[in-house]
Structure 1
Amino acid sequence: MTGQGLGSGPITGVRPLGGGTQNIMATFEREGRRYVLRRGPRHLRPRSNDAILRETRILGALRDTAVPHPRLISCCTDPGLLDGAVFYLMDPVAGFNPSLELPALHAGDPGVRAEMALSIVDSLALLGTVDYRQVGLEGYGKPDGFLERQVPRWMSELESYRQFEGYGDRTVPGVERVARWLTRNRPTAWQPGIMHGDFHFANVMFERTSPRVAAIVDWEMSTIGDPLLDLGWLLATWELPDAPGIFGGAFMKSGGLPEPGALVRRYAEQSARDLTAIDWYVVLACFKLGIVLEGSHARAIAGLASPETGAELHTATLRLFERALRTMDGNP
Structure 2
Amino acid sequence: MAGMSVAQPVEVDRDVVDFAAVGKWMDEQGLPAGEFTGVAPLGGGTQNIMLRFTRGGRDYVLRRGPKHLRAASNTVIRRESRILGALDGTGIRAPKVIAAGADDDVIGASFYLMEPIVGFNPQTELPALHAGDPEIRRQMGLSAVEAIARLGALDHEALGLADYGKPDGFLERQVPRWLKELESYSVNEGYSGPEIPGVERVGDWLDRNRPAQWKPGILHGDCHLANMMFSYDGPEVAAMVDWEMSTIGDPLLDLGWQIATRPEPGTTGAALIGTLGAVGGLPTPEEMIAHYGKFSDRDLSNATWYTVLACFKLGIVLEGTYARAAAGKAPKQVGDFLHAITLELFAKAHRLIE
Q: How does the TM-score come out when normalised to structure 2?
A: 0.91
SS of corresponding position for 1:173: coil
* C-alpha distance in 2 between matches for 1:255 and 1:18: 23
Q: Is the 8 A contact 1:19 1:97 kept in 2?
A: no
1:96 lines up with 2:114 in the alignment = no
Query: What aligned pairs does 1:7-18 form with structure 2 within 5 A after superposition?
Result: 7-18=32-43
**Matching residue of 2:11:** none
How far, CA to CA, are the matches of 1:208 and 1:91 in structure 2?
Answer: 17
Which residue of structure 2 lines up, in the alignment, with residue 173 of structure 1? 197
| Other-structure match for 2:170 | 146
- Kindly report structure 1 stretches of 4+ aligned residues shifted beyond 6 Å: none
Amino acid at match of 1:324: A
Q: Is the 8 A contact 2:270 2:278 kept in 1?
A: no
Secondary structure of 1:253's aligned partner: helix
Over residues 222-247 of structure 1, what are the superposed CA-to-partner deviations in whole Å (9 max), with x where a residue is unaligned?
0000000000000001125211633x
In the alignment, structure 2 segments of 5+ residues that lack a partner are 1-25
- Whole-Å Cα distance in 2 between the matches of residues 5 and 169 of structure 1? 53
Partner letter of residue 155 of structure 2? D
Is 1:321 aligned to residue 346 of structure 2? yes
Percent identity reads 58
Contact 1:98 1:250 in 2 (8 A): yes
When the two structures are aligned, how many residues end up with a matched partner?
Answer: 327
Report the equivalent of 2:20.
Answer: none
SS at match of 2:38: strand
- Alignment counterpart, residue 222 of structure 1, candidates 225, 229, 246: 246
Which residue of structure 1 lines up, in the alignment, with residue 133 of structure 2?
Answer: 109
- Supply the distance in 2 between the matched residues of 1:68 and 1:170 (Cα, whole angstroms): 37
Query: AA paired with 1:183?
Result: D
CA shift for structure 1 position 265: 0.9
Aligned to 1:127: 151
Give the Cα–Cα distance (whole angstroms) in 1 for the partners of residues 218 and 306 of structure 2.
16
Please point out which of 43, 68, 78 is paired with 2:68: 43
Give 1:4's match in structure 2, choosing from 29, 35, 39.
29
Secondary structure of 2:144's match? helix
1:243 is aligned with what amino acid?
Answer: G
Matching of residue 243 in structure 1 with residue 272 in structure 2: no
Aligned-pair Cα RMSD in Å: 1.0
Mapped contact 1:19–1:100 kept (Cα < 8 A): no
Q: Is residue 134–residue 282 contact of structure 2 (8 Å, CA) maintained in 1?
A: yes
In the alignment, which residue of structure 2 is the partner of 1:305?
330
2:217 corresponds, among 171, 181, 193, to 193
Instruction: Give the counterpart letter for 1:216 in structure 2.
Output: M
- Secondary structure of residue in 2 paired with 1:41: coil
Instruction: Report the counterpart of residue 62 of structure 1 in structure 2.
Output: 87
Query: 1:268 is matched by which residue type in structure 2?
Result: G
In the TM superposition, residue 275 of structure 1 has moved relative to its aligned partner by 0.7
